[in-house]
Structure 1
Amino acid sequence: MLYRNAYVMLCLFAFLPACTGQPDAELPDHLAEFDHVTMIPADATPAKTVRLQEMWEIGPDGDMLIDHIYALATDEQRNIYISGGDKIHLFDPEGNYRKSIGQHGTGPGDLMSVFDLQVADNTLYALDFGQIRIQRFSTTSLEPDGMILLDIHTLPHQENVIPPFPLTFRVDDDQSFLIGFQHSNPAAPSLHFYRFDRDGNLVSDRLLSLLLIETLPQPGTDRFIPSPVGNRGLFQIGPDNRIYTASTKDFFIKIHAPDGSYQSALYHPIEKRE
């Protein structure tokens, strides 16, 4: 999800100057319910061109082996932090491995299952869904800098089902958190977003929901598996704390107020390959 989020936001900023500012009269039927939609013409010329260039690749380095990459973040010095689950691996801007942060455990600074990372104000935030908490590290000293236990006792969920668990998050300017919780509907996994204050207290009702990933029924069973080419939900927070949501199905970006209420959208028709 991380890389798709970045790509969608890059496309958004590249096309924004080309917006007509007029509502689109040719929205697909499944998007027709939305109003205040600005059309980016199919033949629009982007005001800027973004080219992605490979700088380095991650691989084995001596005794250090990354078997999974769950999340990635960078700081102002362009250092790269990569979550391997119960450790965070630090690389310098040239891709040289520096050290690993944290260890498997439940004590201060310990990690179990970090599925998302954010850097803000010289602090690395690690969302550990295995312990339902956010662990903080100083990006200067790389030492633990406190942890935030998330109070999820009042989160709504159905009885006799697995409680929702935190899967992704963003840090707002006031150090509050927008956290997406995965809910256990195998046929349509979704993220429900709530706001928590800097101390980990739930301070909102559900703000919005977003499809996590499209699934397919597994023949001969009652199980569902992720579709390798199916729709995936995307989200990002803008500089003004507005929330942007999109999906890989359409170039349709919805803009929400910080409280989750829908404000407007951008639509760019693209020809899909068969």
Structure 2
Amino acid sequence: MKHLSLVFLFLLSCGGCINPDSNEIPDHLKGIENLKVYPSDESAEHSIQFEQARVFEESDELIFGRLRNVAVDDSGRVYISDAAQSRATIHVFDANGSYISSIGGYGEGPGEFRSIISPQIHDEKLYAMDVRQMRINIYNINSFEYQNSIQLNPGNWSHIEELSNIFPSDFIILDSNRFLLSFIKIEKHQYLHYHYLMNNSGEIISDMILDQVQSEHFELPDNRGVYHSPYSPSGNIKVSSADEIYTIWTEDVLFKKYSLNGEYLSAFYHPFANKTLSNSEVLNYLENEEYKAAVRNTGIPEKWPAVRSVVMDDKDNFWLETITESETENQWWVLSSNGELLSKFNFPTSKSSRIVTDDAFFALESDPDTGIQRAVKYQYRFE
């Protein structure tokens, strides 16, 4: 196991900033009620310092496939989902980086997976969703044994017209008895998410709380299918410890806040200069004539999204990876739940954050020598 003590100091920069009048709002955002607009030249309250603390990697007894997500329990144990074909398991490490066990495994038996979505820890239990088998598997994190599953039975929502012929795609734990369940619907080049409350018996217990565009893609002529677009904005949803829902459409640094019953409360916005996108960059992404036909049929975005990814930490702060002109690193912003700018730092694009706790930033990255995926824990502190 590698233990590195290299310290990284990420300096503040203004690579993603613009300098219009602080009251200037894009036309498509005008009319949003209770919107707080932050000035484009706002200074961050803190700098931030990182120290690489632990590496969670392969060993003689463990081979990784395709790592996807990370969860951390109160004792510091780390759970890494491996979505490689015919593997579908969750690897468990102790806080010091030593491999303990693997949970699940590919199959259709109790506690097994055919796919793994969103491993999460709550109340001494590990939850992970299997969208192919329509269930959420639950494990005891002290014994690592399978406990039970919440069956996602379409019969439980057959009375809801909007959910006809669509299926769950993700979930967020609210407490031991309630979950925010997301359903995905495909409409031409858009993937839509419908959000509902579900109990621990798999029953829908609310009307639709929110609907949002989850992603946009390039559509082939005559509705013959779509190609994934890495250049289009996407929709994200987060839930705070106070059960407040936040949504972001990554075209802008714009967060909207809702109550748990879907009532709009407020929003905040930070001006941002989106990176320009060229036609050739989009068309040459794939050397595939069908892909190019889909691009020409749908149209090419003029600019990149403002935000590549969003993580909410244990203190309800948002960590945003903003897209900059650099090809090798992006600028991360740390915002409070009210939108105040806490810090900015630059971080390599090759390191993809999956979870942030109150003192640690976990990223999936590739070993610089072998190219094999691994998870890395960085301790951080604000100064």
Shorter chain as denominator, the TM-score bin is: 0.7 to 0.9
Indicate conservation of the 8 Å contact 2:56/2:93, yes or no. Answer: no
Unaligned runs of 5+ in 2: 1-21, 277-383
Indicate conservation of the 8 Å contact 1:102/1:109, yes or no. Answer: yes
TM-score by length of 1: 0.81
Matched residue type, 2:231: V
Using the TM superposition, give the Cα deviation of residue 238 of structure 1 relative to its aligned residue in structure 2, in angstroms: 0.4
Measured in 1, the distance between the counterparts of 2:244 and 2:45 equals 23
Corresponding residue to 1:170 among 143, 165, 172: 172
Using the TM superposition, give the Cα deviation of residue 132 of structure 1 relative to its aligned residue in structure 2, in angstroms: 1.2
Matched residue type, 1:259: N
C-alpha offsets along residues 34-54 of structure 1, whole Å, 9 cap, x if unaligned? 201011211112223445655
Using the TM superposition, give the Cα deviation of residue 139 of structure 1 relative to its aligned residue in structure 2, in angstroms: 1.1
TM-score by length of 2: 0.59
Q: How do 1:254-269 and structure 2 match up within 5 A?
A: 254-269=256-271
Structure with the larger strand share: 2
The higher-RCO structure (CA 8 Å, 6+ apart) is 2
Classify 1:51/1:250 alpha carbon distance in 2 versus 1 (closer, same or farther; 3 Å).
farther
Measured in 1, the distance between the counterparts of 2:224 and 2:53 equals 44
The percent of aligned pairs where both chains have the same amino acid is 28
Measured in 1, the distance between the counterparts of 2:148 and 2:196 equals 22
Classify 1:120/1:158 alpha carbon distance in 2 versus 1 (closer, same or farther; 3 Å).
closer
* 1:92 and 2:94 correspond: yes
Matched residue type, 2:219: P
Measured in 1, the distance between the counterparts of 2:259 and 2:223 equals 41
Further displaced range: 235-244 or 89-98? 89-98
Corresponding residue for 1:200?
202
Indicate conservation of the 8 Å contact 1:151/1:200, yes or no. Answer: yes
RMSD: 2.4
Classify 1:94/1:165 alpha carbon distance in 2 versus 1 (closer, same or farther; 3 Å).
farther
Indicate conservation of the 8 Å contact 1:116/1:167, yes or no. Answer: no
Corresponding residue for 2:273?
271
Matched residue type, 2:211: S
Indicate conservation of the 8 Å contact 1:118/1:126, yes or no. Answer: yes
Corresponding residue for 1:46?
44
Corresponding residue for 1:15?
none
Q: How do 1:54-73 and structure 2 match up within 5 A?
A: 54-56=52-54, 59-62=57-60, 64-73=62-71
Using the TM superposition, give the Cα deviation of residue 245 of structure 1 relative to its aligned residue in structure 2, in angstroms: 0.8
Corresponding residue to 2:133 among 131, 134, 158: 131
SS of residue matched to 1:30: helix
Using the TM superposition, give the Cα deviation of residue 235 of structure 1 relative to its aligned residue in structure 2, in angstroms: 1.3
* 1:27 and 2:25 correspond: yes
Aligned length: 248
Matched residue type, 1:231: P
Measured in 2, the distance between the counterparts of 1:52 and 1:215 equals 36
Classify 1:254/1:54 alpha carbon distance in 2 versus 1 (closer, same or farther; 3 Å).
farther
Measured in 2, the distance between the counterparts of 1:108 and 1:249 equals 41
Corresponding residue for 1:144?
146
Q: How do 1:214-253 and structure 2 match up within 5 A?
A: 214-218=216-220, 222-253=224-255
Using the TM superposition, give the Cα deviation of residue 62 of structure 1 relative to its aligned residue in structure 2, in angstroms: 3.0
